[in-house]
Structure 1
């Protein structure tokens, strides 16, 4: 019984071991076959975001910033020094016309000087009349003395007139002739004095007429420093500052490298914070660049606009060039030294193409040569893609604003 039991146990163990071996062998074979099938499956191509080449409008701009200033600023100072301000007839912000009275100065002192000048003019006129009468008298005396001398000559020769009497007549003729010359010189002096008095009068009248401080041109008063009772001075602070015709422009700084593209007459958009955007034109491009800051200066004419205030900060964009051409995202272009290239996906394969770039607007670059409209380009250059790589191009979903 014991031997049979042992034999039966041995047979049972062998059967179990054989079955386990067959199971494991079959399982191993199945795993190998599954691995081979998995290896035989095709590898899925990586997804790559692409964009279609489209035609867009390009406008290249140069950025500037600065302050609003008058196109031309007029400094109004008194023509007459030493007079006090009597009256102010205009204030800051007022629109004024050419010749309009802005202020009046005290004129009493000049009026008194004019009255004194009138007296001096009357005296000089009387002196001229007196000198003229003296000339008439001197001429008559000289004529009479000359006639007596002429009559004395033949009498002296015939012996009827003594030498002493002849000498007296000759002396009288010379004396009256000298008196005539003196009278004529007196008239010249009187005329000169009158001319001097008249010149003083013209100066006084000019000073009197300029006690009214007027505007030399149409414009808008930007600042008034004059005060009633203050002494007017031609060499001091101007009484008024006027924006000629109310015209304003942007006096701005620009990066040195962008100045080469800026030209007089180019359009510009000037933005004044909290006010708005305004159209303008480049009026002046300075020929000088600051050697320390490496910045140049441009002036953008904005014209007449009541909402603009001089001294305000503003920034501008000058349109330096414009075109219409093929566009790709800026991130799609790779630059290697002087060469630019993009990666085009065609038949699910990547192809590198050298391109010629043009203008840049926002996040788009103009492509002048190398691609065609409708081509698919990889949106991000520099990815680990090579020529011939198989990819799965994916177009981005359109933004809500682009959905029709």
Structure 2
């Protein structure tokens, strides 16, 4: 007797259920992989050393040239007797005094008993030296009785390395630090067109523009001349690690170390200009260390917020 054999048929509802189950399985697998990756990252971070990090920011750096020199009177006026044989009877000013043009400086008596003669200041300014002594007799061959810094104006005459000379020009601003006196502001007055063949130094003259400066002739000083400005990414000097291959910076990405070669530019106040290799906003190790290697896991503490990342 023949039996009636029929093949099972695939119902549409059953097929849709199988597809839904497959999709759910794929989503679950992806979520599990993501969770595993996060857990692995957290484990790496927990295993890594703690480093202080800073964010690279934009900043402007001043290009400068250093000048060492001495202070001199921009213009000096001298006062001498009109003839020999006059006796100095009175000195009316002291060194450092400010005088006006025409102001009496000393009184002199004639040997024949004639009328007294007054020596006066030819210009307004500051008395820098006095050689007049009461009771002595004048000689036209002797040093001037008085020296006056005309209008009280000073300039610094200094030497500059040949490599810095091309960047200097008249009109550039400068800050002058003088031994034993407050800092004063200055402006480049002239730059030599030649350099000394032996020392390879050129000469620059810087006019002091601070009004009524309390300075001394021949005092030594140091001037910092601003020759330009450059704006770029700035990082702490301590973030730069120098090696045989050049300077590098350790950047933190996804809690791991990336070592990048950089080009260092200008330096100022503990900061370094980075021309290439680091972008604004990058998180960098504030104090680079040779013990950190490429790919090492780290935990970061931001220096500005002290919050653990």
| TM value normalised by structure 1 | 0.53
Shift of 1:343: 2.8
Rounded Cα–Cα distance in structure 2 between residues aligned with 1:96 and 1:332: 56
Query: Runs of 5+ in structure 1 lacking a partner?
Result: 1-41, 112-207
Instruction: For residue 331 of structure 1, give the secondary structure of its aligned residue in structure 2.
Output: helix
Report if the CA contact (8 A) 2:265-2:272 is conserved: yes
Query: Runs of 5+ in structure 2 lacking a partner?
Result: 1-42
Corresponding position of 2:57: 54
Rounded Cα–Cα distance in structure 2 between residues aligned with 1:349 and 1:358: 26
Report if the CA contact (8 A) 2:57-2:281 is conserved: yes
Rounded Cα–Cα distance in structure 2 between residues aligned with 1:337 and 1:386: 16
Whether 1:379 and 2:286 are equivalent positions in the alignment is yes
**1:72 corresponds to which of 71, 75, 98:** 75
**1:231 corresponds to which of 123, 137, 146:** 137
Corresponding position of 1:352: 259
Rounded Cα–Cα distance in structure 2 between residues aligned with 1:103 and 1:74: 16
Whether 1:244 and 2:150 are equivalent positions in the alignment is yes
Report if the CA contact (8 A) 1:290-1:296 is conserved: no
* Larger proportion of helix: 1
Report if the CA contact (8 A) 1:60-1:361 is conserved: no
Rounded Cα–Cα distance in structure 1 between residues aligned with 2:160 and 2:154: 19
Corresponding position of 2:237: 330
Q: Computing the radius of gyration over CA atoms, which structure comes out larger, 1 or 2?
A: 1
* 1:33-112 matches, cutoff 5 A: 44-107=47-110
Q: How many residues align?
A: 260
Of 335-344 and 260-269, deviating more is: 335-344
Report if the CA contact (8 A) 2:87-2:111 is conserved: no
Shift of 1:241: 0.8
Rounded Cα–Cα distance in structure 2 between residues aligned with 1:245 and 1:275: 19
Shift of 1:53: 0.7
Whether 1:317 and 2:237 are equivalent positions in the alignment is no
Rounded Cα–Cα distance in structure 1 between residues aligned with 2:49 and 2:70: 53
Q: What's the Cα RMSD here? A: 3.6
- Structure with higher RCO (Cα < 8 A, 6+ apart): 1
Rounded Cα–Cα distance in structure 2 between residues aligned with 1:255 and 1:316: 13
Cα deviation per residue 1:90-135 (whole Å; 9 max; x = unaligned)?
4323333334443344446597xxxxxxxxxxxxxxxxxxxxxxxx
Shift of 1:399: 8.1
| TM value normalised by structure 2 | 0.67
